[in-house]
Chain A
Amino acid sequence: MTDRRPKVVGFCCERHGMDAAVLAARSGRQYDASVRVIQVPCSGRVDGLHILKAFEDGADAVFVIGCLEKNCYYDTGSIEGRKRVEYVKGMLAELGIEKERVEMFNAASTNAWAFPEAASKMVEVAKRLGPLDMGGDTR
Chain B
Amino acid sequence: MIVAKRKPMNEIAEMVAPYKNITVIGCRSCVAICLAGGEKEVKMAASALKVKNRKEHRDQQFETLVVERQCEKEWVKEVEDKILGADVVLSMACSLGAQTIADMYPEKTVFPGLNTGFLGVPEEQGVWSEKCVGCGDCIIHLTGGICPVARCAKSMMNGPCGGSSNGHCEVNLDIECAWYAIHERLKLQKRLDLIEKVMPPKDWSTGHYGGRRTYVREDARLKQHQKKGKEAVQ
Contact = CB atoms under 8 A, between A and B. Distances in A.
Q: Do chains A and B touch in the complex (CB under 8 A)?
A: yes
Interface of A: 47-49, 52-53, 55-56, 91-92, 94-97, 132-133, 135-136
A91 B44 contact: yes
Given A52-B47, A91-B48, A135 B40 contact: no
A82 to B, nearest CB: 14
B183 interface: no
Contacts of B9: 91, 94-95
B43 A49 contact: yes
A27 B33 CA distance: 47
Given A47-B40, A133-B55, A135-B56, A94 B8 contact: yes
B13 A55 contact: no
A56 B40 contact: no
B20 interface: no
Contacts, number: 49
A92 B43 contact: no
Contacts of B44: 48-49, 52, 91
Nearest to B48: A91
A92 B54 contact: no
Given A49-B44, A56-B50, A135 B10 contact: no
A64 to B, nearest CB: 15
Interface string B36-54: 0000100110011111101
Interface residues of B, number: 17
Task: Count chain B CB atoms within 10 A of each CB in A47, A52, A97, A132 and give the residue with the most.
Answer: A52
B212 interface: no
Interface string B60-76: 00000000000000000
Contacts of B50: 56
B40 A95 contact: no
Nearest to B126: A83
A92 to B, nearest CB: 7
A55 B44 CA distance: 12
B188 to A, nearest CB: 35
A53 B49 CA distance: 11
B55 A132 contact: yes
Given A133-B54, A135-B56, A95 B47 contact: no
A50 B55 CA distance: 18
16 contacts: A47-B40, A48-B44, A52-B44, A52-B48, A55-B47, A56-B47, A56-B50, A56-B54, A94-B10, A95-B48, A95-B51, A96-B52, A97-B52, A132-B54, A133-B54, A136-B55
B59 to A, nearest CB: 12
Q: Which 3 A-B pairs have the closest CB atoms?
A: A52-B47, A94-B9, A55-B51
A135 B51 CA distance: 11
B230 interface: no
A58 B9 CA distance: 20
B141 interface: no
Contacts of A53: 47
Contacts of A52: 44, 47-48, 51
Contacts of A92: 48, 51
Nearest to A47: B40
A113 to B, nearest CB: 31
Contacts of B10: 94-96
Contacts of A133: 54-55, 57
B48 A135 contact: no
A47 B13 CA distance: 22
Nearest to B53: A56
